[in-house]
Amino acid sequence: MVRRVLRLGLVCKTMTQANLKWVLSCATNRLIDRLRDETGENVLDKGLSYDEVVLGRRSIRGFLQKPVPRALIEEVLRLAMRAPSSLNTQPWNFSVVTGAPLDRIRAENTRRTLEGVPESREFRKFEVYEGAHRERQVDIAKQLFAAMDIAREDKPKRQDWVLRGFRQFDAPVSIVVTYDRALFGGDIAPFDCGAVTTALVNAAWSRGLGCVINSQGIMQSPVVREYAQIADDQVIMICVAMGWPDDSFPANAVVSRRKSVEEAARFIGFDA
């Protein structure tokens, strides 16, 4: 890079002002073209600040049936993988699934669920939430059901809502997050996967994409492993449904309520 700059400087000394303007204009246009994604939009024109991403992002559960360019997903992953990891071990890997393989996962997840096949997630889950944790769980369910006009006694609608999760929310892309089985049994690798998944959904939002972190999508892990062609040396941690948000889908407007800083944080050793 330094050599290129020096060469450019030497060339510029021998140029007329008009020629120099032309060269700089061409270089700028090439840079803009490189920063143009496959949708034809200039990413320089759609940048969001960190605050805008974090405060604006929400879980998206309804998607447009519009493909997501592979180059854009690669860009999102490149950003996400700047997430911190313990001792820089970077245990995460991603299986990005779309098209027919994803449709097979949806179909098999749904079939097994309706037939009562027990779930087989590869991570431990907490069985029953109580107290404040249960209250927050119920609160977001009420918000979503109200937005979708799902009455408490409407069992068909409630079941369809649950099945949406097993269908990866009908998103055009599912990203299955895995980590190296050599690290299985410790808590650090799953912690690092949580960090990279948070970075992933934020990076996607900054590029106009919506996501929802979806544990239902990997409840039937053998199905996911088969159709996403996940090697045995990987542990399936979670999946992320991704696509272009459907602004007409009512649940997409729901913003979950959050604890206050006063509730969550204690400050020790501060003067005030």
Tell me, what's the pLDDT at 26?
Answer: 40
Tell me, what's the pLDDT at 127?
Answer: 80
Q: Which structural domains are found in the chain, ordered by start?
A: 2-29 (no CATH), 56-125+165-259 (3.40.109.10)
Q: Which residues of the chain have pLDDT under 70?
A: 1-46, 272
Tell me, what's the pLDDT at 123?
Answer: 81
Query: What sign results for the dihedral spanned by CA atoms 69, 74, 75, 77?
Result: positive
Give the pTM.
0.81
Q: How far apart, in whole angstroms, are the C-alpha atoms of residue 195 and residue 272?
A: 31
Could you tell me which residues come within 8 angstroms of residue 266 by beta carbon, excluding any fewer than 6 positions away?
A: none
Query: What sign results for the dihedral spanned by CA atoms 124, 129, 135, 138?
Result: positive
Give the pLDDT confidence of 206-236 residue by residue, as tens digits: 999 999 999 999 989 999 999 999 999 999 9
